Amino acid sequence: MNSVVAINHRARSSEQKALRRHAVLETAEMYFKEVGYETFSMAQLAKKAGLAKGTLYLYFKTREELFLTLYEQSLIRWSQTFIETLSNTMTSKAYAQSLYKTTQADGVFLPLLIRLEHVIEHNVSIPRLVESKRVFIHQVEAIAEVTSSALRLNTEQALEVVKTMGVLLIGATQTDQSPALDNEELPTDVQHLITSFSSEPLFTKNAARIIEGIRAEGISGV
Amino acid sequence: MNSVVAINHRARSSEQKALRRHAVLETAEMYFKEVGYETFSMAQLAKKAGLAKGTLYLYFKTREELFLTLYEQSLIRWSQTFIETLSNTMTSKAYAQSLYKTTQADGVFLPLLIRLEHVIEHNVSIPRLVESKRVFIHQVEAIAEVTSSALRLNTEQALEVVKTMGVLLIGATQTDQSPALDNEELPTDVQHLITSFSSEPLFTKNAARIIEGIRAEGISGV
DNA sequence: TATATAGTTGACCGCCGGTCATTTAATATT
DNA sequence: AATATTAAATGACCGGCGGTCAACTATATA
């Protein structure tokens, strides 16, 4: 039940506070993976972390600032993982597949990315938002640099690819968020619709089209 | 305050009930345009509609079923508008621009589309969900048919274009959902980021790339 | 006018995110 | 060792949420 193992009693030094904050984030991530964004409650998190609800608000101003922190962590974590999968010469398809696969493997990144702009950012202080955007800029630039050599594009093109992949990813994985209707309670026409919106081919096919489009524009000088 | 003009007293016939339901939906749409999805409350809606809260639940099982209905209405409305803008021979760019412009013009369609799969569909009965999916299928097919002649693509290609445009639209307009920070309280690097994610060029550029990609695949027989 | 039917109501429920006076553990001072 | 000081932690409390349902009452019928 109690996931706060680092500190048993009061956190006094800033070091101890950082540890406690970290422990809360770990518990929150586990809990989030269990129940998802909408069901996640601060009272439940407090219980799971072995703290009182009020204590959570000593470490995070709002529920959304907590989620923004989780998002940042997952963005950084995923970026590193993705970059490690990139080699010096790749096809657009291989690039897109690796991007898709690594985002899917991280159980936190995509669900938070999808909710970032229309939910999470709306209950967060402006300085905190600015800080988060800067983390985003930094990660995008890091990915763009490796993308440049992976796909043999100039810096500008690589940057556009990375930004566009993010956009496409959000759109393509939207369908994965539908309620799980494992059983065969759906009529065949609707089942067919759902399979035709399968996110994996939807993403990889169009990612390749976009990358090739950007590459072609670079050649012709558009 | 009271937007229910059609019926002053009890709705007894199924006709009157339909009228009242319709009046509630109209009030809900106005109210939604005012405050958006997260702030929208059933108690406030009841007040604005001049009804008791409990009465709303005679016409809609849940808040989400109400939103699903608003979404369906806006989908149908937008589809018709969009189809009317299509001519028999268009460039990919003109097609994409018209699609973008018409969705932006409808203040309800996009905000609900974005929340459809990960919020709205999760508190809705399965029969109602199936019904909604069928409306979606029908609209997609109608748009695909006109798209086919507008972009000179075969049926299959046109269908893929329409589905993909939806995905891209959701991704590209994500940034528009960020909190409005009109003033100059943001540092220039973050401002630059935001403008570089401007949804209009993001959508139209990549829409054109994807359409041309699909067209090219058709020619080469991929 | 009396009765039956069914549309409407709003007090009520459990739970939410968030607050803050109070408690109390850990440190500093004597 | 005893005491004073500090601030981390607490949890009762707040307003508001989506949703429910016994009671009420407007209307149609007899």
- Structurally, how many domains does chain A consist of? 2
Element at B57 (helix H, strand E): helix B53-59
Tokens at B25, concatenated: 């939906």
Among A4-18, A39-53, A168-182, B198-212, the least confident range: A4-18
- The span from the CA of B45 to the CA of B26, in Å, is 11
- The span from the CA of B222 to the CA of B207, in Å, is 20
The answer for A 6-45 residues in CB contact with B (under 8 A) is 37-38
Cβ of B125 less than 7 A from strand D? no
Tokens at B106, concatenated: 């409808």
Tokens at B100, concatenated: 């973008």
Element at A83 (helix H, strand E): helix A63-85
Nearest residue by alpha-carbon distance to C1' of D7: A12
Among A2-16, A26-40, B134-148, the least confident range: A2-16
Write down the residue that tokens 């770990």 correspond to: A26
The Cβ of residue A173 has, within 10 Å, a number of other Cβ atoms equal to 25
Q: Tens digits of per-residue pLDDT, A185-216?
A: 899 999 999 999 999 999 999 999 999 999 99
pLDDT greater than 70 at residue B101:
yes
What size, in residues, is chain A?
222
- The span from the CA of A142 to the CA of B168, in Å, is 24
pLDDT greater than 80 at residue A3:
no
Between B5 and B24, residue with greater pLDDT? B24
> Is the CB of residue B123 less than 8 Å from the CB of residue B186?
no
| Domain shared by A130 and A187, yes or no | yes
Cβ of B52 less than 7 A from strand C? yes
| Domain shared by A17 and A103, yes or no | no
| Domain shared by B106 and B12, yes or no | no
- The span from the CA of B63 to the CA of B56, in Å, is 9
Residue A2 pLDDT level (bands cut at 50, 70, 90): very low
Q: Tens digits of per-residue pLDDT, B42-60?
A: 999 999 999 999 999 999 9
| Domain shared by B47 and B99, yes or no | no
DSSP string, B94-131: HHHHHHHHHHHHSTTHHHHHHHHTTTGGGGS-HHHHHH
Q: Tens digits of per-residue pLDDT, B169-220?
A: 999 999 999 998 876 789 999 999 999 999 999 999 999 999 999 999 977 6
What share of chain B in percent tops pLDDT 90? 88
Question: Within 171-210 of chain B, which residues have Cβ less than 7 Å from strand D?
Answer: none
Bases along strand C below 7 A from a protein CB: 6-11, 15-21, 25-27
pLDDT attached to residue A6: 52
pLDDT attached to residue A181: 82
The interface pTM score, or ipTM, of the predicted complex is 0.93
Cβ of B123 less than 7 A from strand D? yes
Amino acid found at B48: K
Residue B2 pLDDT level (bands cut at 50, 70, 90): very low
- The span from the CA of B222 to the CA of B214, in Å, is 9
- The span from the CA of B144 to the CA of B153, in Å, is 10
Tokens at B211, concatenated: 């359409």
> Is the CB of residue A176 less than 8 Å from the CB of residue A203?
no
The pLDDT mean for chain A works out to 93
| Domain shared by B19 and B113, yes or no | no
| Domain shared by A176 and A121, yes or no | yes
Containing structural domain, residue B52: 1-59
| Domain shared by A78 and A52, yes or no | no
Residue B11 pLDDT level (bands cut at 50, 70, 90): confident
Q: Which of B59, B75, B95 is the last residue of a domain?
A: B59
Distance B12 CA to C2 C1' (A): 21
* Averaged pLDDT, B108-137: 97
| Domain shared by B109 and B137, yes or no | yes
| Domain shared by A103 and A154, yes or no | yes
Tokens at B72, concatenated: 């369906």
| Domain shared by A100 and A118, yes or no | yes
pLDDT attached to residue A8: 73
Q: Tens digits of per-residue pLDDT, B208-221?
A: 999 999 999 977 65
DSSP B196: H
pLDDT greater than 60 at residue B127:
yes
Write down the residue that tokens 């969009």 correspond to: B82
Q: Residue A34 belongs to a domain with what CATH number?
A: 1.10.10
Interface contact B177-A213, CB threshold 8 A: no
pLDDT attached to residue A5: 43
pLDDT greater than 90 at residue B7:
no
Which residues of chain B does A40 touch, with a Cβ-Cβ cutoff of 8 Å?
Answer: none
- The span from the CA of B113 to the CA of B102, in Å, is 14
DSSP string, B66-103: HHHHHHHHHHHHHHHHHHHH--SS--HHHHHHHHHHHH
Q: Tens digits of per-residue pLDDT, A108-166?
A: 999 999 999 999 999 999 999 999 999 999 999 999 999 999 999 999 999 999 999 99
Interface contact A206-B210, CB threshold 8 A: yes
- The span from the CA of A3 to the CA of A15, in Å, is 18
Residues 6+ apart with CB under 8 A from B3: B23, B26, B27, B30, B48, B49, B50
| Domain shared by A39 and A109, yes or no | no
Q: Which of A59, A75, A106 is the last residue of a domain?
A: A59
pLDDT attached to residue A22: 97
pLDDT attached to residue A1: 34
The pLDDT mean for chain B works out to 93
Distance B76 CA to C18 C1' (A): 40
| Domain shared by B131 and B204, yes or no | yes
Of B118, B167, B214, nearest to A114 by CB-CB distance is B118
Q: Which of A15, A34, A59 is the last residue of a domain?
A: A59
Residue A221 pLDDT level (bands cut at 50, 70, 90): low
Q: Residue A197 belongs to a domain with what CATH number?
A: 1.10.357.10
